[in-house]
Amino acid sequence: MRTHRTVPFATLTLALFTTVIEIFRLTGGHYFDVVLANLDVVTWPEFYNQPWRVVTSPFTHRDIMAYFVNLAFLLLFGWEIERKHGWTIFLGVFFGALVSAYVIWTNLAHDWIWGISGGVCGLFGFSLIANGRTPWWMTLTHFPLHVLYIANLVWAVIIDVTNLIPYRVAHLDHLMGVLYGMAFGNAFLLTPGISRWRWVVGALPLMLFASLFYSPWQVEWRLVKRPPMLLTTNANCQLRSPEQKIYIPAPIRFVNASTKSVAVYWLDYEGKARYQLWLRPGGSDALNSFVGHPFCIIDIDSGEALQAAIVTEPEQIFTIR
C-alpha cells in the first residue's frame, strides 16, 4: 500500500494534545483545575450529563510513567499506521477503540478510565492485522514493536497483581481496545470492497457513545438521572449544606451493614441530591467532605431515603443498617 504522507500530522497532534494536558496536570493549581473542570471526569453526574468526556478524560494520566509509555507507543504505532494507511484510518482506529473500550469498561467495572491506553491498544490490534504473518504467532514476534508492546501489557499485569501501584489497571479496557483494532483491521484491510462489516465496525463506537444518553441498565446512570425521594417514613433528607466562612475538611467513610444495595447522595447548598457512590451489602467506601455537610442514604431499588447523615467531625464513619 502506498505511503499517504511523510509527516503523520494527526499522530503528532494527538501527542501534542496529550503532552499539554499532562503539563497542566503536573503544574497543578489553577491549570489542573481547568483540566478537571473542562476535560476530566470528576463525578458520575458530569460523566452522564456531559458524555463527550468519554473522549477527553482519557487524555489525563494518573502518573508521569503512564503518560510516557502511552505517548511513546502512540507515536510509534501512529507513525507506522498513519503514513501507510492514512490519517482517517489512524483516527478511526484510535478513537473507535478508545470510546468502545471505555464504555464497555464503565458498564462492567463501574469505574472511569485514565490514560489513552485503550486507543493505543486499538492501534496495536490494527497493526497485528496489517502486519500479519503465517503461522499466527509470527505476527507477535517478527515485528519488534509488537514484542515491545506485548511486554508492556504483561508488565501492566505484573504491577497490578503485585500491588506495585496504588490503583487497579484496566486490563479489560486494554483487551477491548486490542479486539476493536483487530476487527477494524479485518474490516478495512482484509475484506474486499465496501462490506457491511465496515459499517458495523464504524457504527459500534457511535452506538456505544449514544448509549451514554440512555443507559437504564447501568446503576450509575439511574442514580444520576432519576431523582431520589428525600422524604419518606424512614428518613427526612430535606436538608442542605450550609454556607460557611471556614470549611473544615473531613474525610468520611460509609459502611453498608444492611442487606440492600444503597446509594449515597450529597445534599448541596440548594438542597438538591448529588449522587456520590453506591454500595453493595457489606461494602464500604470513602469520600472527602466538610464538617456540616449532609448526606442521604437511598435504597437503590425503590429510590427511597433510608437514612440521613450529617458530618460532625473528620474521619467519621457512617454505618448503614
What number is the average pLDDT over the span 313-318? Answer: 95
Contact at 8 Å (CB) between 79 and 108?
no
Angle at the Cα of 39 from the Cα atoms of 38 and 40, rounded to 5 degrees: 115
Helix or strand run (H / E) with residue 262: strand 262-267
When pLDDT is cut at 50, 70 and 90, the band that residue 179 belongs to is very high
* Sheet arrangement for strand 262-267: 273-279, 262-267, 294-299, 305-310
Q: Where are the alpha helices (DSSP H) in 50-170?
A: 53-56, 64-85, 87-109, 117-130, 137-141, 144-161
DSSP per-residue string spanning 32-54: HHHHHHHTS--SHHHHHHSTTHH
Amino acid in the structure at residue 288: N
Task: To the nearest 10°, report the CA torsion of 206, 210, 215, 221.
Answer: 110
Residue type at position 75: L
**What are 6's three cell numbers?**
511523510
Residue 87: phi and psi, rounded to 5, are -75, -30
60-98 per-position pLDDT tens digit: 998 999 999 999 999 999 999 999 999 999 999 999 999
What is the rounded average pLDDT of the residues 146-164? 94
CA distance 149 to 50: 33
**% pLDDT > 90, the chain:** 80
Question: What average pLDDT does the segment 51-59 reach?
Answer: 94
Per-residue cell: 245: 466562612
Which residue type occupies 85?
H
- The per-residue pLDDT of the chain, averaged, comes to 92
Residue 95: what pLDDT?
98
Tell which CATH classification among 1.10.1530.10, 1.20.1540.10, 2.40.110.20, 3.40.50.460 matches the domain 9-220: 1.20.1540.10
Domain boundary assignment for the chain = 9-220, 227-320
Whose CA is closest to 274, among 9, 43, 27?
43
Whether pLDDT at 6 is above 90: no
The 10s digit of each residue's pLDDT in 221-251 is 999 999 999 999 999 999 999 999 899 999 9
SS3 184: helix
CA atoms within 13 Å, Cβ hemisphere of 243: 2
* Beta bridge partners of residue 30, listed in sequence order: none
Which superfamily, per CATH, for 227-320?
von Hippel-Lindau disease tumour suppressor,  beta domain (2.60.40.780)
The single-letter code of the amino acid at 34 is: V
Peptide bond into 51 cis (omega under 30): no
Work out the average pLDDT over 1-24. 85
What is residue 78's three-state secondary structure? helix
Q: Tell me what pLDDT residue 1 has.
A: 46
Strand 249-256 vs strand 305-310: parallel, antiparallel, or unpaired?
unpaired
